[in-house]
Structure 1
Amino acid sequence: MRIRPLAVDALIAVALTTVAVLLGQESVKQGWPELDATGYVLVALVNLPVVVRSKAPLTVLLVVHAVCVVYITAGYWPVVNTFGPMLAVYTVASLRPLRVSLPCAGLMCAVWIYAGLVSENSVMASVIGQAAGFSLVLLRFGYVARQTAELARQLKREQDERARREVAEERGRIARELHDVVAHHMSVISVQAGLATFVFGSDPATARAALGTIAGTSGEALEELRRMLRVLRAEGGEHDGEAPAAPMPGLARLDEMVERVRAGGVTVELRVTGTPRPLAPGVELCAYRVVQEALTNVLKHAHGAAAAVELAYRSGHIEVSVTDDGKGVIPARVRTGSGHGLLGMRERAKLYGGTISIGPLSEGGFAVRLTLPTSARAAARGDDASE
C-alpha cells in the first residue's frame, strides 16, 4: 500500500513535536525555565506546521522561524525547537532554486545566532560555527535532493517519449505489414473476380481457373494475417498454446508471387543472378515486400503491362528491381513516390540500411530499384528488426 506524502509529513510533524516536548522536560536540568502552557503551545506552533511543508515550503519556513523567535525571546531553552526550523530549511532547498533557498538558510543561521546572543554562558564562536555549518549542510542536502528529483523527472519524460516513439514505430510496422499483405492479395482477387464475372457464361474453364486463383490467394492472405497476428501476440507476451508462427515470407517465395501476378493477367519475368545464399530474415522480408508492392502497383495501375523482376546476389549486398514496359496509367501519387505503399518501401529500405529509387524511366515505364547490404553487421540488424 502506497503511503500518501501528506500522511508521511503528518507523522514527521508528530515525531518532531514529541521529541521537542521530551526535550522540554529537560529544561530545568539544563538551567532553563520549565515549559509552561505557553511554552508547549509555542513548541507545537514551531513543529506542527511542517505537516504542509511540501505544499507551502516558504510559508512554513517563515511561520516556523517567526514563532521560534518568539519562543527564544520568551526565555525558553532554544535547543527544544531545533529540528522544526532545520527541516523547513531542507524542504525549501529541496523544492526551490538556490536563489530562494540561500536566503532561507541565512534566516535560520540568523535565528540560531540570536538564540546564542540572548543565552547566558554561550560561546559565540561555537554558536556561529554551528549556525553556519548546519545551514550549509541542510542547503547542500536539499540541493542534491532537488537535482535528484529533477533527474528522475527528466528520465521519466525520456522514457515516456521513447515509449511513444516505440508505439508509433510499431504501429507503422503493423500498418506496412497489413498494407503489403492485404493490398497485394486483394488486388489479385479483384482482377480474378472481374475476369470470372466477364467469362462466366462464355468460357467456364477460364472462370473456374480464376475462381481457383481467388481461393488460393485468399487462403494465402488469411494465413499471412494469422501469422502476423501470432507474431504480435508473442511480442505482447501472450501465450495461448498456439503453434509457433510460420516463417516470414522471403526471397525463396518470389516464384509463388510471380505466378500469382501472372494469374492476374500481367506478364512477369523473374531473373535471378549470382549465387543465392541465406540472408537475415529481416533483409529477405524487406526485399520480398518491396517486390510485392511494386508488382501490386503494376497489377492495379498497369494491367496488361509486362513486368520484369530481377534479383542479383552480390558479395556484400543484394539488388532487386521491378520494371514495367510503360503500358497502363500510373497515378500521380505513384509516379511521384508519395503513395502509402511507396512510402512504406522507403521506410523499409532505410530501416535495413539500404537505398531505393522509385520513378518513371526515360524510355517509358516505371522502375523500383532496391539495394540492401548483407554484411554480418547488417544481417544482425535485420534479425533484430524482424523479431
Structure 2
Amino acid sequence: MTLDSFAGRRIPPAVTDAGLALLLAAGLLAVAEAMPPGGPELRTHDTRFFVLALLSALPLAVHRLCPLPALLVMAAAASVLQGLHYVPQLSSPDGTSIGPSYLGVATAVFLTAVRGTPRTATLVVTVLIPAAAVTEAALASPGHRIATLLTEAMILVAAWALGRLHRARDAIRNQAVERAAALEREQVANARAAVMEERARIARELHDIVAHNVSLMVVQTIAADRVQDRDSQKAHELHGTIEETGRAAVSELRRLLDLLRTDEEAETDPNKEPPQPTVEAIPELVDSVRAAGLAVDFETTGTPAELPAGSHLTVYRVVQEALTNTLKHAGRTRTDLSVAWEPERHRLTVRLCDDGPRPGDGTPRPPALPKGSGHGLVGMRERIGAVGGSLHTGPRPGGGYCVHAVIPLPTPDSHQEGHCPHAGHPRPAGR
C-alpha cells in the first residue's frame, strides 16, 4: 500500500497504523484551540472528552489486526463526541465542518475496504455507512439533518469506493506479476527442454562413435593376438593403434558425460574442484576440530598399504562425520581416534570413541535410535557398504559413544580378477 511506504522505503504496517492513530488523536485534542472566534459553542473538554477522543483515534493502531471492530469503536466514539457537543457538527448554521473525528472514521472505512474480506466490505457499505449517516443526521440540529445525512454518506461511500479501487488495483498488479513469473518459468522450461533434446541428439551420435571405437579395439586386439608370434612388429603397430583408438574412445566418452551432466552437476564438476581427500588428510581434519574445541587423541598404527580411491574417500568421510557428530552431540569432550593398518589381515580399522558430554556442558547426547537411524549414520553405513566394509556404532559402557569401521584392503587376488592396477592411487579416478 501507498501508506506503507515513504520515500521508496518500506515502513512496517504497525508503524504506519500507529502513526495515523497518533496524528488523529493529536488533531482531536487540538480541535478546541483551532476553532476561530465566534464559532460554534462546544462543551468544555473534560475527562470524558479525552476518553472519547482516544477511543475515536487509537483503535486505528490495531486496525490491521481487527478491521471491523476498530471501525465500529471509532464510529461510535465519533457519534458520541458530536452528540455531547465536544466537536462541531458536520452541518450546522455555521456551515460544514469536517473535523478530525469524521476524517478518522473515513480513514477507518478506507482501510477496512482495502484490508477486509469482500463480505466485510459489503457489510460496511450496506449496514455501517447508512447507520452512521442516519445517526449523524439524528444528532444534527433541525434544518440540517438532510445535509448532514448526505454529507456523511458521501464522505464514507467515497472512502469505501477508494479502498475497494485500491484493493482491485493491487489484485490486478499481483496477477500481472504472477503471470509474468509464470511466463518466465515457462520460457525457462521450454529453453531447458530444447537444450535437453539437443543434448540427447548429440549424445546418440557420440554413443555411436564410442561404440564404433570400442568395437574397433576388440577387432584390433584379436588381430594383434593372432600375429603376435609370427610378426611382432605388426603386433606392436596394432597395439599402438589400439592405444590411440582407446584414447579417442575415452575422450569421446568424457565429452558424452560432460554433455549429459546437468547444470547443477556442472557447477560441482570434479575437474574444477581440488582432489578428493584421502586418509593422509585426516591429520588436518583432526587439527580443524581441535581448533573448534574438541580434544582429540589421534593415533595411527601399522604400515599404510595400497587403497582404492573410493576407499580413501570413504575413510575420510566416516572420520569427518564421526567427529562432527561428537562435536554436535557431546560438545567439547575428549575423543580417541585410531587408524590401524592391518595388511596381514587385509583390512583398515577406524575407531572413534568419545567420553560423552562433560558435566554441566548442557548438550546431552540424544538417545540412540535403533539400527543407526539418522542421516549421518545412514550415510556412513552406505559409504562403508559400498566398499565392502562394516560399521558398528553405539553407546559405550560408562558413557560416551563409539564408531567402529572396518574397510577391506585390496589383495593380490583382487587385481588378478580384473581390478584396475592403479586402484590404490590416492587420487580419484580420472585425476
The TM-score with structure 2 as length reference comes to 0.46
Match of 1:191 among 187, 198, 212: 212
Shift of 1:23: 1.8
Give 2:72's aligned residue: 62
Deviation at 1:39, TM superposition (A): 0.9
CA distance in 1, matches of 2:192, 2:34: 69
Pairing 1:141–2:131 present:
no
Contact 2:49 2:81 (8 Å CA) reproduced: yes
Alignment CA distance shift 1:47-1:192 (3 Å): same
Q: After superposition, what is the alpha-carbon deviation per residue over 1:77-98, rounded to whole angstroms, capped at 9, x for unaligned? A: 1534112211111122223465
Give the alignment of 1:263-302 within 5 angstroms.
none
Aligned to 1:93: 113
Tell me: CA distance 1:88–1:200, structure 2 relative to 1, closer, same or farther (3 Å): same
Query: What SS class does the counterpart of residue 209 from structure 2 fall into?
Result: helix
Report deviation, 1:13. Answer: 1.7
Structure 2 unmatched runs, 5+: 1-8, 90-98, 225-234, 264-431
Distance of aligned partners of 1:186 and 1:74 in 2 relative to their CA distance in 1, 3 Å threshold: same
Equivalence for 2:196: 175
Distance 2:176 2:15 in 1: 27
- From 7, 12, 29, give the equivalent of 2:20: 12
Larger Rg: 2
> What SS does the corresponding residue of 1:155 show, helix, strand or coil?
helix
Give yes or no for contact 1:42–1:71 (8 Å, CA) kept in 2.
yes
How far the C-alpha of 1:47 sits from its partner, in A, is 1.2
Are the aligned partners of 1:21 and 1:80 in contact in 2 as well (CA < 8 Å)? Answer: no
Change (3 A) 1:197 1:220: closer
Bigger mean CA offset, 96-105 vs 76-85 = 96-105
Superposition deviation, residue 212 in structure 1: 4.3
Q: 1:37 is matched by which residue type in structure 2?
A: T
Q: Distance in 2 between matches of 1:200 and 1:227?
A: 29
Deviation of residue 5 (structure 1)? 2.0
Equivalences, count? 232
Report the Cα distance in structure 2 between the residues aligned to 1:176 and 1:118, rounded to whole angstroms. 77
Q: What does the per-residue CA deviation read over 1:111-164, in whole Å, with 9 as the maximum and x for residues that have no partner?
A: 244234324466123212212211221222112112111112212221232233
Task: Tell me whether 1:166 sits opposite 2:187 in the alignment.
Answer: yes
* 1:41-84 deviation per Cα after TM superposition (whole angstroms, max 9, x unaligned): 21111111112223322122122223333333433215341122
AA partner of residue 14 (structure 1):
L
**Helix, strand or coil for the counterpart of 1:55?**
coil
Distance in 2 separating the partners of 1:173 and 1:6: 49
* CA 211–193 in structure 1, closer or farther in 2 if over 3 Å, else same: farther
1:50 to 52, 60, 64: 60
Residue type at the aligned position of 1:71: L
Q: Return the match for 1:127 from 129, 134, 148.
A: 148
Matched with 2:4 is: none
Change in 2 beyond 3 A, CA 1:207/1:173: farther
**Aligned position for 2:41:** 31
Distance across 2 between alignment mates of 1:200 and 1:91: 85
Residue 385 of structure 1 corresponds to none
In structure 1, what is the Cα distance between the partners aligned to 2:187 and 2:123?
A: 45
Q: In structure 2, do the counterparts of structure 1 residues 48 and 143 end up closer, same or farther at CA, with 3 Å as the change threshold?
A: same
Q: In 1, distance between residues paired with 2:152 and 2:130?
A: 5
Higher helix content, 1 or 2:
1
Counterpart CA distance in 1 for 2:16 and 2:64 is 11
CA spacing shift, 1:85–1:215, aligned 2, 3 Å: same
Q: Which amino acid aligns with 2:182?
A: E
* In 2: Cα distance, 1:214 partner to 1:180 partner: 23
Q: Deviations over 1:301-341 (max 9, x none)?
A: xxxxxxxxxxxxxxxxxxxxxxxxxxxxxxxxxxxxxxxxx
Equivalent in the alignment of 1:297? none
CA distance in 1, matches of 2:28, 2:18: 15
Q: Unaligned 5+ residue runs, structure 1?
A: 233-387
